[in-house]
Amino acid sequence: MHALDLQQTIGNSVTEHPELVKVYMDHQVDFCCGGDRTVSEALEKDGADLEAVLREAEEAMAAAGTGAAAGPGVVLLSDLTSGELVDRIVGRHHAFLKRELPVLRELLSTILKVHGHRHEELYEIHKVFRELALELESHLVKEEEELFPKLASGGKECGELIRELEREHDGAGEALHRLTELTDHFRVPADGCRTYGIAYGKLQELVADMYLHVHAENNVLFPRFH
């Protein structure tokens, strides 16, 4: 029997069981910015169906126990050294943002011009994304040029910088929640064109990657240097 520990922090539950990421994301449960909440608190606060989450979590953990859930080569972030973890964050998540943010800017501008008169929510989506992208681009520079070099040197006197970055993560998390709401969970309207679908698909990918990105930092990397 693989049971979900409701009193464990939700961040630690994902660190120990990466297969739970899909379960939590399917139920819109925040495990990154709100990673210090217990699983029980997170499920209640985020309005998840407790019975469904427990059932799906049990199935996912059982499958992972047989090697069937997340596929071969699954990496436990807690097993990585801090240097390896930073390399993974920069190589995967930072690279993703640097590649995708400019593409999304263009796509959202395009669908706003074409569909904005029929779908007024696109104006707010465009605004929220634009502000988020600017914040993220500044955030990446701060991490790569200030924090990560300090961590490589032992991480002394990084506490305030880490807290500042965590606050920025919270702001990004709020923007991601807002984008999810504004897009009706990335549901393309019936009159949406192919570009509309691509834009919403990429927004959904952005949200998913950011959850993993912030989880790796807030719940695994940063606590090592607090």
Q: From first to last of the 226 residues of the chain, give the pLDDT tens digit.
A: 468 899 999 999 999 889 999 999 999 899 988 888 999 999 999 999 999 999 999 999 888 775 444 444 567 899 999 999 999 999 999 999 999 999 999 999 999 999 999 999 999 999 999 999 999 999 999 999 999 999 999 888 899 999 999 999 999 999 999 999 999 999 999 999 999 999 999 999 999 999 999 999 999 999 999 7
Nearest to 18 by CA among 72, 64, 85: 64
Residue 1 lies in a domain: no
| Same domain assignment for residues 103 and 60 | no
Residue whose structure tokens are 């049971």: 3
Q: Are 37 and 27 in contact (CB under 8 A)?
A: no
- Asked, for residue 73, whether it belongs to a domain, the answer is no
Phi, psi of 183 (to 5 degrees): -90, 5
Structural domain range at position 148: 80-225
18 found inside a domain:
yes
